[in-house]
Amino acid sequence: MRAHLLAGPAPRDFRMDASAPQPLIALSGIEVSLPSEAGLVHILRGIDLDVADGEAVGLVGPSGSGKSTLLMVLAGLERPTAGEVRVAGRTFAGMDEDALALFRRDNIGVVFQSFHLIATMTALENVAVPLEFAGRRDAFDRAGAELEAVGLGHRLGHYPSQLSGGEQQRVALARAVAAGPKLLLADEPTGNLDGATGAAVIDLIFARHARLGTTLVLITHDVALASACDRIVQLKDGRIESIAPGAGRGALAAR
């Protein structure tokens, strides 16, 4: 230890307590500004946020406050104009588009409000094809098991147009988690679903989070849903307005 201390400057991310867990997400000084006809639009104006491994964060705020943009930055789908994104120990800035795509494939699942399934593929293919691209020999078995887990074992050969909204979102969820991501990002996943159907999708998302310790960032307008997370991060005008503790999963049962 002493020899190490005398050997020179500490490594860059040296920590006094080596056992202190690294956050799964570390955002510092995130800004996104885009040009528009009216000049530069500042969408995110300096976001600093750490999310612990296994934590569930509810991201709330008025429409236009920057929630979806922040989620896209987290997914590596949007490059911030300034600031640093680190997920699972990897800093995005040094990664090119291919490296980011590979990293996302192995570490991050995303669920959108509008499902984003491929219309010409069956439910099974929608889930299996990304796994095949990832080189998984068991892609179709794995996809079948994931669809089974979301209650769609009897819909494997159906095309998206033959599925209800809730079923399509469950396919999208199966696809998002099939590769076993450390991080699941969900942007208003129940926004296009009726109450009961949405609740079933949310139960599946939280069950996954609880069972496998998948870190969750969930954008929602549903206060009860946000409260079911460990923390509620409120955005306003591209900044974090407040961070509050959530009430936990009990808040869901009370709906």
65 binds, among ligand ADP, Mg ion, none (CB under 5 to 8 A by kind): ligand ADP
Using CB under 6 A as the binding criterion, the count of chain residues that bind ligand ADP stands at 12
Contact between 66 and ligand ADP (CB under 6 A)? Answer: yes
Binding status of residue 63 toward ligand ADP by CB under 6 A: yes
Q: How far is the CB of 126 from ligand ADP (least distance, A)?
A: 25
Tell me how long the chain is: 255
Q: How far apart are CB 184 and ligand ADP at their closest, in Å?
A: 17
Residues with Cβ within 8 Å of residue 111, at least 6 apart in sequence: 169, 172, 173, 176, 184, 185, 186, 187, 189, 205
The single residue among 51, 57, 69, 163 that binds ligand ADP, judged by CB under 6 A, is: 69
Q: Which of 29, 64, 213, 245 binds ligand ADP (CB under 6 A)?
A: 64
**11-50: contacts with ligand ADP (CB under 6 A):** 34, 36, 41, 43
Indicate the Cα dihedral angle 70, 74, 76, 81, nearest 10°.
50
- Interface with ligand ADP by CB under 6 A: which range of 56-64, 90-98, 109-117, 154-162? 56-64
Residue 18 contacts by C-beta under 8 Å, 6 or more apart in sequence?
A: none
**Looking at 65, 68, 169, 215, which residue binds Mg ion (CB under 5 A)?**
68
Residues 211, 147: Cα–Cα separation, whole Å: 17
Q: Is 120 in the site for ligand ADP (CB under 6 A)?
A: no
- Stated as kind and residue range, the H or E segment containing 147 is helix 139-149
Reported in sequence order, the residue ranges of the chain that DSSP labels E, i.e. its strands, are: 25-36, 39-51, 56-60, 82-87, 90-91, 108-111, 183-187, 215-219, 231-236, 239-245
d(CA 138, CA 27): 35
Binding-site ranges for Mg ion (CB under 5 A): 67-68
Binding-site ranges for ligand ADP (CB under 6 A): 34, 36, 41, 43, 61, 63-69
